[in-house]
C-alpha cells in the first residue's frame, strides 16, 4: 500500500564552506532529506539546473531512495550555491539571485501528489516566484508548516507575514521574531505573531544555544534548553533538523513538550556534522535511538 508523502517545497543548493567543502543543502532540501532518513514519505519539490550540480542532487537523492519526481530541471538557471562564512561555528550566508530554485512553473503541480498530509515551505524560494505553484500545493495539503528562514536582503516583513498567514505551525528564530514584530517587546512577540498571522496551532521560536519555545494558539507555552553538543562542528542545518522532528511530532500528535525535547536533541546531533545532512543512515538511527513512545 502506498503512503501519501509530505510535500516539501523550496531550495536545493550547495553550501560552499571556507575550507572548500561543498555540502548539499538548502533549508527545504535538508528537511526533506531528514524526514526521509527518519522514515517519513516525502516528495521534495524544487528546481535544479541542467548541470553537474543538478545531476549530483538527483543522484544523491536516488542513492538513498528519495522520491525525485518533484525535481524540476530548469532550462537555463543554474543549481543553487551559497557561500557559507563561519564565526565560532555560527553560519552566515551569501545568496545570489536567479537560481534554478527561484523559478518553477505552476503547471509543475501536475507532476506532484494530488494530496498530502502536510506542505512545508520557507520564504527564500518564494523571493521572486513560485507563488502560483505554492497556492496549488496549499489547496492539496491537510496541514501547512512554514519555516521562515529570513535571508537578507531577500524578504519584506509584510510579505513574510502574509506567507505565514493561516499556517498550522510556523517556526522562526529570535532575530526573525524581532524583525517581524519590531513594535512589540520580546515577551509579547509570540502572542502578537500568533494573532497577526492567524496561526492555527503553534508558533515555534528557536533561541540558538538557549534552546527553544513552543507557543500554542490556545495559550500554552513550553520551553526547553539546548542540550550540550559533544564534537561540535557547525550549526548549519540545526534549525532544519529541528523543523524535521517538529513535523513528525505534529503528524503523530506528540505532546508539545515531547516534540520540543526530541527536536532539540536532533538539532544538537546535526551540529556534529559539517553541513546539514549525511548519507549515513546510522547517524539518524543513533540520533533517534532512545525516542520512547510519545
Which CATH number characterizes residue 84's domain?
3.40.1190.20
Q: What's the confidence (pLDDT) of residue 244?
A: 97
Determine, yes or no, domain membership for 177.
Answer: yes
Answer whether residue 287 shows pLDDT above 80.
yes
Q: How many structural domains is the chain composed of?
A: 1
Determine, yes or no, domain membership for 289.
Answer: no
DSSP state of 240: H
Determine, yes or no, domain membership for 115.
Answer: yes
Structural domain for 95, as ranges = 6-282
The Cα–Cα gap between 294 and 283 comes to 21
pLDDT in tens, 71-91: 999 999 999 998 888 777 677
Determine, yes or no, domain membership for 287.
Answer: no
Determine, yes or no, domain membership for 187.
Answer: yes
Q: What's the confidence (pLDDT) of residue 271?
A: 86
Cα three-residue angle 260-202-268, rounded to 5 degrees: 25
Q: What is the CA radius of gyration of the chain?
A: 18
Determine, yes or no, domain membership for 84.
Answer: yes
Determine, yes or no, domain membership for 291.
Answer: no
**Residue in this structure with the C-alpha cell 513528525, named with its chain if needed:** 248
Q: Which residues contact 17 (CB under 8 A, 6 or more apart)?
A: 23, 84, 86, 274, 275
Average pLDDT over all residues of the chain: 92
Read out DSSP for 159-226?
Answer: HHHHHHTT-SEEEEEHHHHHHH-TTS-GGGHHHHHHHHTT-SSEEEEE-GGG-EEEEETTS-EEEEPP
Whose CA is closest to 204, among 153, 240, 156, 159?
Answer: 240
Q: Count other C-beta atoms under 10 Å from residue 9's C-beta.
A: 26
Determine, yes or no, domain membership for 215.
Answer: yes
Helices 238-251, 256-270: inter-axial angle, 10-degree rounding: 150
| Across 228-252, average pLDDT | 90
Q: What's the confidence (pLDDT) of residue 293?
A: 64
The model's confidence at residue 278, banded by pLDDT at 50, 70 and 90, is confident
Helices 27-37, 238-251: inter-axial angle, 10-degree rounding: 50
Amino acid at each position: 500500500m502506498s503512503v501519501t508523502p509530505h510535500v516539501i517545497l523550496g531550495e536545493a543548493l550547495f553550501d560552499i564552506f571556507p575550507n572548500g567543502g561543498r555540502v548539499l543543502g538548502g533549508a527545504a532540501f535538508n528537511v526533506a532529506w531528514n524526514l526521509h532518513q527518519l522514515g517519513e514519505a516525502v516528495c521534495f519539490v524544487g528546481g535544479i539546473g541542467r548541470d553537474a550540480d543538478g545531476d549530483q542532487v538527483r543522484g544523491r537523492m536516488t542513492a538513498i531512495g528519495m522520491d525525485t519526481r518533484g525535481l524540476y530541471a530548469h532550462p537555463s538557471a543554474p543549481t543553487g550555491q551559497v557561500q557559507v562564512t563561519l564565526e565560532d561555528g555560527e553560519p552566515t550566508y551569501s545568496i545570489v539571485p536567479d537560481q534554478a530554485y527561484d523559478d518553477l512553473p505552476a503547471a509543475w503541480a501536475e507532476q506532484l501528489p494530488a494530496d498530502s498530509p502536510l506542505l512545508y515551505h520557507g520564504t527564500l524560494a518564494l523571493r521572486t516566484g513560485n507563488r502560483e505553484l505554492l497556492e496549488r500545493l496549499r489547496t492539496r495539503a491537510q496541514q501547512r508548516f512554514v519555516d521562515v528562514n529570513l535571508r537578507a536582503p531577500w524578504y519584506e516583513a509584510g510579505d513574510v507575514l502574509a506567507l505565514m498567514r493561516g499556517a498550522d505551525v510556523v517556526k522562526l528564530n529570535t532575530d526573525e521574531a524581532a524583525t517581524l514584530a519590531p513594535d512589540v517587546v520580546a515577551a509579547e512577540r509570540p502572542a502578537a505573531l500568533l494573532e497577526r498571522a492567524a496561526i492555527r496551532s503553534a508558533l515555534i521560536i528557536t533561541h540558538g544555544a538557549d534552546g527553544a519555545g513552543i507557543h500554542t494558539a490556545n495559550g500554552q507555552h513550553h520551553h526547553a534548553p539546548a542540550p550540550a553538543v559533544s564534537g561540535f562542528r557547525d550549526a548549519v542545518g540545526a534549525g532544519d533538523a529541528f523543523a524535521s522532528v517538529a513535523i513528525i511530532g505534529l503528524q503523530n500528535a506528540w505532546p508539545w513538550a515531547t516534540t520540543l525535547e526530541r527536536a532539540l536533541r536532533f538539532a544538537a546531533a546535526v551540529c556534529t556534522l559539517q553541513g546539514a545532512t549525511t548519507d549515513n543512515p546510522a547517524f539518524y538511527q543513533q540520533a533517534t535511538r532512545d525516542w520512547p513512545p510519545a
